[in-house]
Amino acid sequence: MADKNSHSSGSISRKSLIFLFMVSTIVFIFSWFFVLRSTGHPQLIDYTSFTSSKNLATIDNGNRQSRNPNDVQPSMRDPLETTSDSSDSSDGSLEAALVVKDVASCASNKIALKVFMYDLHPEFHFGLLDWKPEGGKVWPDIQTKIPDYPGGLNLQHSIEYWLTLDLLSSNFPNRNGARSAVRVFNSSEADVVFVPFFSSLSYNRYSKSKSPHKKSVNYSLQDKLVKFLTEQEEWKRSGGRDHVILAHHPNSMLDARMKLWPAMFILSDFGRYPPNIANVEKDVIAPYKHVIRTFVDDSSGYDDRPTLLYFQGAIYRKDGGFVRQELFYLLKDEKDVHFSFGSVQKDGVHSATKGMHASKFCLNIAGDTPSSNRLFDAIASHCVPVIISDEIELPYEDVLDYSEFCIFVRTSDAIKEKFLINLIRNISKAEWTRMWNKLKEIEGLYEFQYPSKENDAVQMIWQAVARKVPAIRLKLHKSWRFSLTGTKRPSTIVPWSKSKHLFRELRV
């Protein structure tokens, strides 16, 4: 019996071993299957299969960012924050449309951009307008008298003046109407830091040195500004990336720009900037202030404007402006075309006003740089702009479709014989009228005034700055990841010879 039981017990043990061997073999095979699968191509996850996926992430130009309710939020409403209507929708196109709508709704003005402004010495701003401070004051009492800005072509690049006035008045108790930006006096509460240096005026008025001084006032101010900014805790905290610097005239800030490149520049174009110093990702393109008179109560239709195509300005230009002389020879003998030399001198502004108001289409051709004030003069005249400038960047183009009221022509096509004039002649009266009506709808977006009004040029620029805030914060937060483990936050400016490498490092 004992032998039998013993045999039976051994038999069971062998069966158990066989069973365990088979199980372990199967597990081994499957484990290798998963290992091999994991080393293959990445598997896509369908986020729509998660009931709360829309609370986990949103998409910003293809970049997925986490949403943590405990994260510090910018004071501007996040333009990518979806509404309750979109959160229940499974239709991707509807959700995308709502996102675009939210981007455009930055103009809602319910929450203003918070701006900390340095109290720079008056020599950097209103002192350049011959304003004399009294009793150690930094700013003029603009409720009593506003210092005048010089006229003529100086006005084209006067955005520094209008933005500063807007900030100074943002806290006035009697300030009525919507505001896109409000001044705060604690930099830790601010979305951005504003540098009130009237750089365009400094260039226009003070760029020539006077004996016995070897350096111009403009150069000295830029040198002082760099030293001041790099000593400030606000600059050290962010490496300057949340600072807003005005350099609207193409030749303004020529000496300082290479040292202040991490900051957000407000520019007219990128024509005289290397792309790693200024680019559409971090900087803002602002309109010129138009010089010619706005066409008020414009009822002139297609048949009331006898000139088909209008251009008056400098014809012989350097750099990209060669196309002007090419077009002059192609168009000067065409019927219903006005193409002539002109300037602000000798009643030039009055002449251009009359000419643009009487024209159906107005040429905006690249000059020394890709942009010119002529575009904004045309908009104020409700003269449909014809833009021939391949490298041009346009204000607010992330929320505004310029093809609705402008004609764009590549330079290579424009200089072909008869191409441009045939294109313009083939645009129908109905199409021109549609664009003319659109120009009258959007002209207010380019008006500079004090006090600012809802969605005028001043407020549109602040809104464009606000749309950069989430990207600035993303880069700052990434740059601070290892600040507690020995890696210091960017705090100083390095020489340009070394800064190219640092720039690539900072562009996370």
What gap in Å lies between CA 203 and CA 322, rounded to an integer? 25
Q: Collapse the DSSP code of 193 into the 3-class scheme (helix H, G, I; strand E, B; otherwise coil) and give the result.
A: strand
**Using CA atoms in the order 386, 389, 391, 397, what is the torsion angle rounded to 10 degrees?**
-10
| 108: number of Cβ within 10 Å | 14
Convert the pLDDT of each residue in 359-398 to its tens digit.
999 999 998 899 999 999 999 999 999 999 999 999 999 9
Which pLDDT score is estimated for 505? 41
Cα–chain center distance at 177: 24
CB-based contact 286:268 (threshold 8 Å): yes
352 exposure class (CB count in 10 Å sphere: 0-12, 13-18, 19+): buried
Which pLDDT score is estimated for 500? 44
pTM: 0.75
| pLDDT tens digits in sequence order for the chain, 508 residues long | 444 444 444 444 565 555 666 655 554 544 443 333 333 333 332 323 323 322 222 223 333 333 333 333 333 333 333 333 333 333 444 433 433 344 344 444 457 999 999 999 999 999 999 999 988 899 999 999 999 999 888 999 999 999 999 999 999 988 888 899 999 999 999 999 999 999 999 999 999 988 788 899 999 999 999 999 999 999 999 999 999 999 999 999 999 999 999 999 999 999 999 999 999 999 999 999 999 999 999 999 999 999 999 999 888 766 656 888 899 999 989 999 999 876 655 677 888 999 999 999 999 999 889 999 999 999 999 999 999 999 999 999 999 999 999 999 999 999 999 999 999 999 999 999 999 999 999 999 999 999 999 999 999 999 999 999 999 999 999 988 887 765 555 544 444 444 444 444 444 3
Question: Which residue, among 341, 353, 290, 346, has the nearest Cα to 317 in the 3D structure?
Answer: 341
Convert the pLDDT of each residue in 181-239 to its tens digit.
999 999 999 999 999 999 999 999 999 988 788 899 999 999 999 999 999 999 999 99
For the chain, give every residue range classified as CATH 3.40.50.2000: 302-446
* Vertex 164 angle, CA 160 and 168, to 5°: 175
CA-CA distances (angstroms) from residue 237 to 19, 244, 451? 66, 15, 33
Which pLDDT score is estimated for 262? 96
Q: Which residue has the tokens 């510090």?
A: 72
Q: Please name the residues in contact with 505: beta carbons below 8 A apart, sequence gap of 6 or more.
A: none
DSSP E strands, 196-318: 243-246, 264-267, 284-285, 307-313
Homologous superfamily (CATH) for 302-446: Glycogen Phosphorylase B; (3.40.50.2000)
